[in-house]
Amino acid sequence: MQSRTSAPHTTGRPRSATADAAILEATRAALVELGWSKLTLGDVATRAGVAKTTLYRRWAGKNELVVDAVAELFDELELPDRGSLAADIEGVVLQFAAILSRPEAKTALMAVVAESTRDEPLRERIRTSIVDRQKCLVLEGRARAQLRGELPPEADPVTAARTADLIFDVVAGAVVHRTLVSAEPVDTDWTRSFTRLLLNGLTASATA
């Protein structure tokens, strides 16, 4: 699946998509084998079969490289059309949890989030490269549900944007915490209960 946003424009010689793909794949492999602390840009360049200068022209450091390698994993997310809003949510939550369960995603995401607490440019890169690119799934799902008559239309674009942000935060926060912090499974039963709570609010727990 292609990136949801185009790559930043650079001057000079055009970047090689093949080299980019090899570097990002090598980064994920190195994360699994070496872990965050031992991963170096030199090792990634060797694994990818490119010169160090090729890598350094593209990424300023390890943090930025790892964020982009993880972002490529999350670009695999798609919102399935399963006939109802609840079923669509369940489908994308299960996909998201499956990606988070991969060793390279576990290692990389926890590491860059920890680093970003003291690195504002890195935090911004996470927002633009991962978070903002996935919020389109919320917009897509809401628009589809509105066409089905499952959700009312929102006339105020500011309110609509805030609602989309809140929905994304709730879904992403719950699944990340469940998978990476609590280390509990995101299975069909949990996903169905979570979706019921998301759609119906706290009253859902009384009828579950």
What tokens were used for 91? Answer: 């489908």
DSSP assignments along the chain, one per residue? ---SSPPPP--SSPPPHHHHHHHHHHHHHHHHHH-TTT--HHHHHHHHT--HHHHHHH-SSHHHHHHHHHHHHHTT------SSHHHHHHHHHHHHHHHHTSHHHHHHHHHHHHHHTT-HHHHHHHIIIIIHHHHHHHHHHHHHHHHHTSS-----HHHHHHHHHHHHHHHHHHHHIIIIIS-----HHHHHHHHHHHHHGGGHHHH-
User: Do 55 and 81 fall within a single domain?
Assistant: no
Residue-range definition of the domain harbouring residue 42: 17-59
Split into its structural domains, the chain has a count of 2
Residue 83 lies in a domain: yes
Residue 64 lies in a domain: no
Residue 11 lies in a domain: no
User: Do 102 and 51 fall within a single domain?
Assistant: no
- Say how many C-beta atoms besides its own lie within 10 A of residue 141's C-beta: 22
CATH number for the domain that contains residue 49: 1.10.10.60
What tokens were used for 188? Answer: 């069909």
User: Do 161 and 85 fall within a single domain?
Assistant: yes
User: Do 106 and 33 fall within a single domain?
Assistant: no
CATH number for the domain that contains residue 106: 1.10.357.10
Min mean pLDDT across 11-20, 22-31, 60-69, 126-135 is at: 11-20
Residue 8 lies in a domain: no
Contacts made by residues 81-85, CB under 8 angstroms, sequence distance 24+: 81/144, 84/148, 84/150, 85/141, 85/144, 85/145, 85/148, 85/150, 85/151, 85/199
Residue 116 pLDDT greater than 80, yes or no: yes
**pLDDT 10s digits, 140-189:** 999 999 999 999 988 888 888 898 899 999 999 999 999 999 999 999 99
**pLDDT 10s digits, 87-106:** 999 999 999 999 999 988 88
Query: Structure pTM?
Result: 0.82
- Residue 14's pLDDT is 52
Residue 135 lies in a domain: yes
User: Do 55 and 153 fall within a single domain?
Assistant: no
Residue 141 lies in a domain: yes
Residue 6 pLDDT greater than 50, yes or no: no
